[in-house]
């Protein structure tokens, strides 16, 4: 291996304000909650000392808002990448919950017939391809330095599995991609040498969960 070291951080957006609990997918108008904004600031603080020269984001509001404090901290603009957008999903706009969501209705079961495509939305391979294009563009833009791309849980997880040459079909419960987490692709030259994972806003998630438990007690 030879060449300079470049890191492309894939950042999942922070918590979204979604009081009705719907699957918002690509629907416009879903921005960060107060906690989500705290998460974005926590990540910006974590990355403040890094050599970040390129910031990109999905076109969706929650991703753009998560990118803002990072771009401001490093005095750069946010580049919008359509390829970082959330996965397409035919359940978009519906409530997806245990026992009270759309999945309980037999008329929707046909959409779940093929977990490999998946039949309810955008094919995993299509997600992997568009994410790979975005990551490569960011790697080139930030050569010898670092880039941050703000995206969404499923696209980030698929990008990681594709890069690590793992099967794209998976159990969603096992995704390692929490809110405001960083999945970092480390390159030597153009070669990916490892993928790292961190959760700069984990303390905020724990604080929020503790508050919810206390409220419900």
* 42-51, 104-113, 207-216: the lowest-pLDDT one: 104-113
pLDDT one-digit tens code per residue, 156-190: 999 999 999 999 988 888 999 999 999 999 999 99
Q: Could you tell me if 179 and 63 are in contact, meaning their C-beta atoms sit under 8 angstroms apart?
A: no
Question: How far is the C-alpha of 56 from the C-alpha of 67, rounded, in Å?
Answer: 7
Exposed, middle or buried by CB within 10 Å (0-12, 13-18, 19+), for 20? Answer: exposed
pLDDT of res. 111: 46
118 preceded by cis ω (within 30°)?
yes
Tokens standing for 183?
Answer: 């999945």
Of the candidate ranges 1-5, 135-139, 192-196, the one whose mean pLDDT is the lowest? 1-5
Give the start-end residues of each E strand in 61-190.
78-80, 146-151, 182-188
Query: Quick one: pLDDT band at residue 90, thresholds 50, 70, 90?
Result: low
Take residue 26 and report the two structure tokens written for it.
């690509």
Fold (CATH) for 5-95+123-216: Rossmann fold (3.40.50)
Tell me how far apart the terminal alpha carbons of the chain are, to the nearest angstrom: 56
């Amino acid at each position: 291996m030879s060449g300079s070291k470049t890191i492309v951080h894939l950042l999942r957006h922070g918590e979204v304000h979604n009081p009705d609990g719907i699957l918002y997918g690509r629907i416009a108008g879903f921005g960060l909650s107060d906690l989500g904004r705290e998460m974005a600031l926590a990540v910006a603080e974590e990355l403040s000392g890094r050599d970040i020269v390129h910031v990109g984001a999905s076109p969706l509001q929650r991703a753009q808002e998560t990118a803002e404090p990072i771009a401001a901290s490093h005095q750069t603009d946010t580049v919008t990448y359509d390829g970082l957008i959330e996965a397409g999903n035919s359940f978009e706009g519906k409530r997806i919950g245990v026992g009270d969501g759309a999945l309980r209705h037999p008329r929707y079961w046909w959409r779940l017939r093929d977990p490999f495509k998946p039949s309810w939305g955008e094919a995993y391979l299509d997600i992997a391809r568009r994410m790979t294009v975005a990551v490569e563009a960011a790697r080139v833009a930030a050569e010898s330095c670092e880039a941050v791309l703000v995206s969404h849980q499923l696209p980030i997880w698929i990008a990681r599995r594709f890069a690590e040459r793992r099967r794209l079909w998976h159990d969603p419960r096992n995704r390692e991609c929490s809110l405001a987490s960083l999945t970092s692709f480390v390159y030597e030259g153009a070669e990916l040498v490892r993928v790292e994972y961190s959760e700069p806003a984990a303390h905020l998630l724990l604080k929020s969960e503790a508050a919810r438990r206390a409220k419900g007690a």
